[in-house]
Amino acid sequence: MCRWGSRRACSKRECRGGSALLPAPIPPILLEEKEKLTKMLASRGAAIQELNIVRKTLSVLKGGGLAQLAHPAQVVSLILSDVIGDPLDIIASGPTAASSHSVQDCLHILTKYNLLHNLPKSVEMVLSSSPTKPTAPENYSHVSNIILGSNTLALEEARRQAEGLGYAALVLSAAVHGEVGRVATLYCQLIQLVCLGFTSRGEGPLGDELRGNLLQLAAELQIPGLHLDEFLQALRGLGPDRPVCILAGGETTVQLQGIGKGGRNQELALRVGLGLHKAQGTGASSPQGRCEILFLSGGTDGQDGPTEAAGAFCSPGLVAEALQEGLDVEAFLRNNDSYTFFSQFQGGHHLLVTGLTGTNVMDIQAILIRAMERS
């Protein structure tokens, strides 16, 4: 079972993803040696893309190996993508896709995480004898790789469902990533900008300031395919007569400082709740007071970290309501204890509990905003 650790949580993909379920280390590497190397990389903060580059370099089946062993038979690979951008040679370490990486990429990653000089002799032997260039794509003419499910497809269906419920639905991005606190700030600023537009103050100095902050933060996060200028232009065309649903997906990261229990979706929801509370505290200048707001973040596999919940939802009143129950949101966040908070707060009412879904196309966030009727 993956647990929050004192430094970093295990990735769910390390435990039961496609890469972990199809191991075949190149001899003489032992499975235990490869497993230990993967865990060492993960414990030092390696991204899933980096983990899988190393994995496929050391595998008989990954990095297109399975497809090559099946040649000349026709191979059809049905794929559920849990990686941002849907790179075929990274999803499950690409057993049926030509690798776009070489042994040099693997060596660079091992050097980056100070592991190059602490490798088992078997791994050193395989790396020294590996080809220096990736396999040519034409060797895979017998393979058809078909993505059946992805975050993009999930968001598109969610958008259709939201529109059917009467919302003006917009998809921000299917590739949201970055440190959870910075992503929470992005969402809070976006919510404020929508609410400001509902009050007809979106074109004033406050709106210009929020847009500038949003554009700067988005540039720093470097979210692939995010055209924030176009998205903000679409927002300007929305009026207060119709509720808004903003959808996004991807995967955030949590820098662990505490020893609590939680997951990135619950932590994101809690941080957004805190951010909205602080923005509301600015008084009359805050546009949120005239909007009903709900923020939700959940994992599509039904499990967020080592918890029974898929995620959680919040509103601007969460922090104040929690204080009435003696719960200090900031204290729970310092301990990375978001699941404990949401379990205790209002009897767990704000937890998203779906049960395991049997699939995984990363995380989804939904923001619902409705202008309040003026009395």
Edge-to-edge strand order for the sheet containing 363-371? Answer: 168-179, 244-253, 363-371, 291-299, 311-314, 351-352
For residue 357 the two structure tokens come to 């879904």
Domain boundary pick from 134, 149, 164:
149
* CA–CA distance, 233 with 98 (Å, rounded to integer): 39
| Cα Rg of the chain, angstroms | 23
Predicted local confidence at residue 6, as pLDDT: 28
Q: Which helix (H) or strand (E) holds 374?
A: none
What are the beta bridge partners of residue 292?
370
Task: Confirm whether 94 is domain-assigned.
Answer: yes
- Looking at the 3D structure of the chain, how many domains does it have? 2
Domain boundary pick from 149, 177, 193:
149
pTM: 0.86
For residues 361 and 344, membership in a common domain is answered with yes
* CA–CA distance, 270 with 291 (Å, rounded to integer): 19
CATH number of 363's domain: 3.40.1480.10
3-state secondary structure of 155: helix
Task: Confirm whether 47 is domain-assigned.
Answer: yes
For residues 198 and 294, membership in a common domain is answered with yes
Q: What is the 3-state secondary structure (H, E, C) of 309-343?
A: CCEEEECCCHHHHHHHCCCCHHHHHHCCCHHHHHH
* Contact criterion met (CB below 8 Å) for 148 and 112: no
Q: Which helix (H) or strand (E) holds 147?
A: strand 143-149
For residues 145 and 156, membership in a common domain is answered with no
Task: Confirm whether 5 is domain-assigned.
Answer: no
For residues 307 and 352, membership in a common domain is answered with yes
* CA–CA distance, 97 with 145 (Å, rounded to integer): 8
Distance, first Cα to last Cα, the chain: 53
Predicted local confidence at residue 8, as pLDDT: 38
Task: Confirm whether 30 is domain-assigned.
Answer: yes
Predicted local confidence at residue 2, as pLDDT: 35
What Cα–Cα distance (Å) separates residue 102 from each residue in 45, 123, 132, 133, 350? 21, 15, 6, 5, 46
Task: Confirm whether 192 is domain-assigned.
Answer: yes
For residues 131 and 72, membership in a common domain is answered with yes
Predicted local confidence at residue 285, as pLDDT: 55
> Domain span at residue 188?
151-371
For residues 139 and 156, membership in a common domain is answered with no
For residues 18 and 70, membership in a common domain is answered with yes
- Quote the DSSP letter at residue 41: H
Task: Confirm whether 366 is domain-assigned.
Answer: yes
pLDDT (tens place) for every residue of the chain, 375 residues total: 233 332 334 445 445 678 889 999 999 999 999 999 999 998 887 888 999 999 999 999 999 999 999 999 999 999 999 999 999 999 999 999 999 999 999 999 999 999 999 999 999 999 999 877 665 666 899 999 999 999 999 999 999 999 999 999 999 999 999 999 999 999 999 999 999 888 766 567 888 899 999 999 999 999 988 999 999 889 888 877 899 999 999 999 888 889 999 999 999 999 999 999 999 876 545 667 789 999 999 999 999 999 999 999 999 999 999 999 999 999 999 999 999 999 999 999 999 999 999 999 999 999 999 998 765
For residues 120 and 224, membership in a common domain is answered with no
* Contact criterion met (CB below 8 Å) for 49 and 90: yes
Phi, psi of 354 (to 5 degrees): -115, -20
For residue 32 the two structure tokens come to 């235990």
For residues 155 and 249, membership in a common domain is answered with yes
CATH number of 104's domain: 3.40.50.10180
Domain boundary pick from 149, 171, 201:
149
For residues 136 and 224, membership in a common domain is answered with no
Predicted local confidence at residue 134, as pLDDT: 63
For residues 155 and 145, membership in a common domain is answered with no
What are the beta bridge partners of residue 296?
313, 366
For residue 153 the two structure tokens come to 């497809």
